[in-house]
Chains A and B, each alone.
Chain A
Amino acid sequence: MKNNLKVHRAIHNFTQDDLAKEVGVSRQTINAIEKGKYNPSLFVALKIAQSVNASVESIFELEENT
C-alpha cells in the first residue's frame, strides 16, 4: 500500500510525534506507516485521516499489483 502521509503531515506542520499522540499510537508506528513497512488498521487509518483533515483514499492507495 502506498501513502503520502508525510505530505499531509507537512501541510499541517505536524511532527511524527504530534500525529502519533493525536491518533493514539507510537511515533514508531507513524514512522513505519510512512515508510510503507506497516499497513494500519481501518480504525487507525480513519483517525489519521481525521487528524490531517483528509479522506482515507487521498492518503492511502492500493498498489497496482494488489
Chain B
Amino acid sequence: MKTTPLFPKIYRKVGLVVILIAVVLLVLDELMGLLSFLEQANVLAIYDSGIPLGQTRSDNRFFEIIQDDFRYETLVVLILTGLLFVGFSKRATEDELVQKIRLESLLWATYIHFFLFILLTLFTFGLFYLNILVFSVFTILLIYILRFEYKMYQLKKSLHEK
C-alpha cells in the first residue's frame, strides 16, 4: 500500500505546543507588547507594494531588506505550522480506514470553507471583509482537524458498543 506523506506521530503534540506558544504570545503581546521588538524588524521582502498600492515602479520594491511590523507574520506562520502538524501527523495505525476518514474530512473542510467564503464575500463589505480574508486562511485546516478528530473519536467509541 502506498504511504501518504504525513508527519511522524510526535508532531501532533509538537503542533499543539506550537499553537499554544502562538496563543500565549498573542495574548501577552496584546496585554504588554511582548512582541514590540518585531514592530521594526529587518525582513526580506520579495515584493513590497507599499500602502497605498504603488503605481509607479519606484514605489514597488523587489528583493530588498526592509523594516516592517513582523508580528502578524510571526503569529500566522506559528499557528499555521501548528495546525498543519496537528492535522497531518500519523496516527498509531495509519491504515485504509483512517486514510478514508482523512480524505473525507479534507473534502468536507474544502466544501464548508468555500461555501462560507462565497457567502461572506457576497454579503459582507467594508473593512470587516479584511477580517474574513484573514480568518479564511485558517478555516480549512480548522474544519478538517475538527471533523477528523471527531470521526476518530466516534471510531474509538464504537469499540465499546455492542
- Chain A residues at the B interface, C-beta cutoff of 8 Å: 20, 24-29, 31-32, 35, 37-38, 40-41, 43-44
Contact = CB atoms under 8 A, between A and B. Distances in A.
A28 B96 contact: no
Contacts of A35: 158
13 contacts: A24-B95, A25-B97, A26-B93, A27-B159, A28-B97, A28-B156, A28-B158, A29-B93, A31-B158, A32-B97, A32-B158, A35-B158, A43-B1
Main secondary structure of the interface of B (DSSP, over half): helix
Interface string B22-60: 000000000000000000000000000000000000000
A24 B100 CA distance: 16
Interface in B126-160: 155-156, 158-159
A32 B1 contact: no
A37 B98 CA distance: 13
Contacts of B156: 28
Nearest to B155: A28
B95 A26 contact: yes
A26 B84 CA distance: 24
The 5 closest A-B pairs by CB, nearest first: A26-B93, A25-B95, A29-B97, A28-B155, A26-B95
A50 B49 CA distance: 64
B92 to A, nearest CB: 7
A43 B40 CA distance: 58
A25 B158 contact: no
B158 A40 contact: no
A65 B128 CA distance: 52
